[in-house]
Amino acid sequence: MDTIIKKITNSPEDKEVYQQAAQIIHNGGLVAFPTETVYGLGADAMNKAAAAQIYQAKGRPSDNPLIIHIAEVEELGRVAEEVNEKAKKLMKEFWPGPLTLIFRKKKEVPFETTGGLDTVAVRMPSHPVAQKLIKESRTVIAAPSANTSGKPSPTQASHVKEDLYGKIDMLIDGGNVGIGIESTIMDMTVEPPMLLRPGYITMPMLEQAIGKIQVDPFLAGDMKEPVKPKAPGMKYRHYAPKAELFIVEGELSQVVAKINYLAEEKRKQGYKIGIIATEETKGFYCGDSVRVIGTRKDEASIAKHLFSVLREFDKMGTEYIFSEAFSEENLGQAIMNRLIKAAGHQIIRL
Ligand code: AMP
Ligand code: MG
């Protein structure tokens, strides 16, 4: 299949793009589109066959449920049961925005969309392209990240093209996304509500809005027995670059010295090396494959470039990547969650 690629130009011509995309969704096809977090791969969430196609295009395990994207609060009633007061508070505070909430599902929502679960994940994106597409489609749209399963999530249209060209009907190019990591996921079916995946909406922000929350023990990662995550998708090795990635953690000057040492060792053995640095440290590294991920003064800048830096190293044929660790406070929790997964838990602690 040829994938139709259309750019959003903020001109009257965009109307036709949305109409064409909505028609594809209506007919059970697949459309990739930008959201404020990452690019999503959308299909009609209420259409079994369409939802099933998403798994095929991504090579996604069928037990990994999809997030349903809505454009108006009223649409929540079509898919979710028992929306409690705390959920309403979070919606009021953070929707539209990068927060996904888990509810009991309405029976009309197909199990193909929920990966066989009785619960459903719902989010209202704030990105204008996502909003317009959902409204024009007159349905709710199931959309996981628009990457091949296991690869870093797509933050630009070119990433989607690399992974899914020829496997999906249409790609709407709305430029680079703003946030760069996936939504925060909160399970609202338990009390206190439980954080299943950290994201741009941080724990202090959530607790400010609704008081105490619990954290999925899987996220803490310090259990003696292996535990299963409540969000099935969290168990897979994710975001993985082709290279072996190591995170080096400790006092920053020691981290820089250790990374230089390790990189030089691998370089001497003939490997292609990449280093993930920050504005604050870039000047201290030797070699030409240093990539600045952002500044330590603004965690959002690090989140925004994380996946694109990993993809860039893939393109360069990098074999070993060494990355500095970041603080796990606030947004750092989400950044380190993604980075540690990308590294397959290879952390060197100094
Ligand atoms: P993605 O859209 O690719 O970021 O993946 C969606 C994430 O949401 C995955 O980690 C899923 O496991 C999680 N998710 C979706 N629906 C549910 C649900 N009903 N219960 C728990 N986690 C869910
Ligand atoms: Mg994903």
Total residue count of the chain as it appears in this document? 350
The residue contributing the CA closest to ligand 1 atom 5 is 144
Predicted confidence (pLDDT) per residue in 94-136, tens digit: 999 999 999 999 999 999 999 999 999 999 999 999 999 999 9
Q: How far is the CA of 350 from the centre of ligand 1 (A)?
A: 34
The residue contributing the CA closest to ligand 1 atom 11 is 233
In sequence order, what are the residues at sequence separation of 6 or more whose Cβ sits closer than 8 angstroms to the Cβ of residue 152? 159, 239, 240, 241, 306, 307, 308, 310, 311, 314, 342
CB distance 230 to ligand 1 below 6 Å: yes
CB distance 114 to ligand 1 below 6 Å: yes
Q: Model-level pTM?
A: 0.95
CB distance 219 to ligand 1 below 6 Å: no
Shortest CA distance to 44 belongs to which of 133, 120, 118? 133
Please say if the pLDDT value at position 237 is more than 80: no
Predicted confidence (pLDDT) per residue in 126-184, tens digit: 999 999 999 999 999 999 999 999 899 999 999 999 999 999 999 999 999 999 999 99
Burial track 6-15 (b if 16+ CB lie within 10 A, e otherwise): bebeeeeebe
Q: Which atom of ligand 1 is nearest to the CA of 143?
A: 2
Shortest CA distance to 164 belongs to which of 174, 151, 182? 151
Confidence (pLDDT) at 239: 75
CB distance 65 to ligand 1 below 6 Å: yes
Least confident of 7-21, 230-244, 318-332: 230-244
Q: What is the 3-state secondary structure (H, E, C) of the chain?
A: CCCEEEECCCCCCHHHHHHHHHHHHHCCCCEEEECCCCEEEEEECCCHHHHHHHHHHHCCCCCCCCEEECCCHHHHHHHEECCCHHHHHHHHHHCCCCEEEEEEECCCCCHHHHCCCCEEEEECCCCHHHHHHHHHHCCCEECCECCCCCCCCCCCHHHHHHHHCCCCCEEEECCCCCCCCCCEEEECCCCCCEEEECCCCCHHHHHHHHCCCEECHHHHCCCCCCCCCCCHHHHCCCCCCCCEEEEEECCHHHHHHHHHHHHHHHHHCCCCEEEEECCCCHHHCCCCCEEECCECCEHHHHHHHHHHHHHHHHHHCCCEEEEECCCCCCCHHHHHHHHHHHCCCCEEEC
Please say if the pLDDT value at position 221 is more than 70: no
Q: How far is the CA of 88 from the centre of ligand 2 (A)?
A: 26
Q: Which atom of ligand 1 is nearest to the CA of 144?
A: 2
Shortest CA distance to 283 belongs to which of 261, 275, 321, 311? 275
The residue contributing the CA closest to ligand 1 atom 20 is 231
Confidence (pLDDT) at 45: 98
Please say if the pLDDT value at position 219 is more than 90: no
Confidence (pLDDT) at 192: 98
Confidence (pLDDT) at 73: 97
Rounded to an integer, what distance in angstroms lies between the CA atom of residue 108 and that of residue 129?
27
Higher pLDDT, 125 or 288: 125
Average pLDDT (223-242) is: 75
Please say if the pLDDT value at position 266 is more than 60: yes
The chain-wide mean pLDDT, for the chain, equals 95
Confidence (pLDDT) at 287: 76
The residue contributing the CA closest to ligand 1 atom 13 is 231
* 74, 99, 160, 223 from 68: Cα distances, Å: 14, 12, 19, 31
**Residues whose CB is under 5 A from ligand 2 (ion)?**
145
The residue contributing the CA closest to ligand 1 atom 10 is 233
Q: How far is the CA of 144 from the centre of ligand 2 (A)?
A: 6
Most ligand 1 atoms within 8 A of CB, residue of 159, 197, 341 to mutate: 197
Rounded to an integer, what distance in angstroms lies between the CA atom of residue 271 and that of residue 269?
6
Confidence (pLDDT) at 232: 85
Instruction: For the chain, report the end-to-end CA distance as a whole number of angstroms.
Output: 50
Count Cβ atoms below 10 Å from residue 224 Cβ, excluding itself. 5
CB distance 112 to ligand 1 below 6 Å: no
Please say if the pLDDT value at position 264 is more than 90: yes
Confidence (pLDDT) at 31: 98
Rounded to an integer, what distance in angstroms lies between the CA atom of residue 30 and that of residue 28?
7
Average pLDDT (293-307) is: 97
Q: How far is the CA of 234 from the centre of ligand 1 (A)?
A: 8
CB distance 121 to ligand 1 below 6 Å: yes
Most ligand 1 atoms within 8 A of CB, residue of 67, 145, 183 to mutate: 67
Shortest CA distance to 330 belongs to which of 188, 179, 214, 206? 206
The residue contributing the CA closest to ligand 1 atom 2 is 144
Look at strands 141-142 and 67-69 and give their pairing: antiparallel
